[in-house]
Amino acid sequence: MGLLLKIFVLYLLTIMIMRLMGKSTIIQMTPYDLVAIIIVGTVASEPLISTEFLPTVYALAILVLIHILFSKLTLWQWGNRFFLGEPTILIKHGEFVEDNIEKSRLSIAQILSILRSQGFPKVSDIDYAILEPIGEISVIAKPENTPVTVQHMNIPIEDEGLPISVIVDRRIQVRNLKLLGKTKEWLKNKLKEQNLTEKDIFYAYVNEKTKNLIIKKRIM
């Protein structure tokens, strides 16, 4: 098999494997996700420097099965604790929990940097800061430092629902129209009322609940 074809096939195969592993592999990056990604990259690159191709495919298939098995095991409490670990409280009621910080092998400078990036320059403004199993730090502000919302102010607001794309770069999104319970003809009639066609639209969406059509026309 030629080198160019090998690269093309392995590239597509690796993408398929990452999709099979699930979105959490990219978003959460758990310890077993990270190990799986490193091994996948190493195994997938092997045929590029050797002639063994099919054994690589078999190895990748086994790796995917093992990863899926581990993912299933984390649904159980003991598996979750073993493979992911447990959350660790770093700050409680505005004070550092020093023992937990030492066990987590984090420096105060690292924690302060992360807190500042999340909009909390003062530790005293924080009720809890928790190191999650996926490596992120979740911050819960003290009640008096919680941002004011329209609910706090008793201001009524209309829930328009999720904005769902119906035209993207002049192309009608038929699947999304089905989610809205609408048809392609309905959309074209709406556009016709404004003397437009999908070719005139750069982007358009419909609010899930109100069914309002919002249009962003192309700039010629």
What is the number of other CB atoms lying within 10 angstroms of the CB of residue 201?
A: 21
What is the number of other CB atoms lying within 10 angstroms of the CB of residue 162?
A: 12
Angle of the 54-73 helix axis to the 31-45 helix axis, nearest 10: 180
- Region at 175 (left for phi over 0; alpha for psi -120 to 50; beta for the rest): alpha
Check residue 167 and give its pLDDT: 93
Check residue 38 and give its pLDDT: 73
Residues in the chain with pLDDT values less than 50:
none
Tokens of 179: 């989610």
Check residue 39 and give its pLDDT: 73
Burial class (CB in 10 A: 0-12, 13-18, 19+), 128: middle
Check residue 123 and give its pLDDT: 92
Check residue 24 and give its pLDDT: 53
How close are the terminal C-alpha atoms of the chain, in Å? 48
Check residue 174 and give its pLDDT: 92
What is the pTM (predicted TM-score) of this model?
A: 0.55
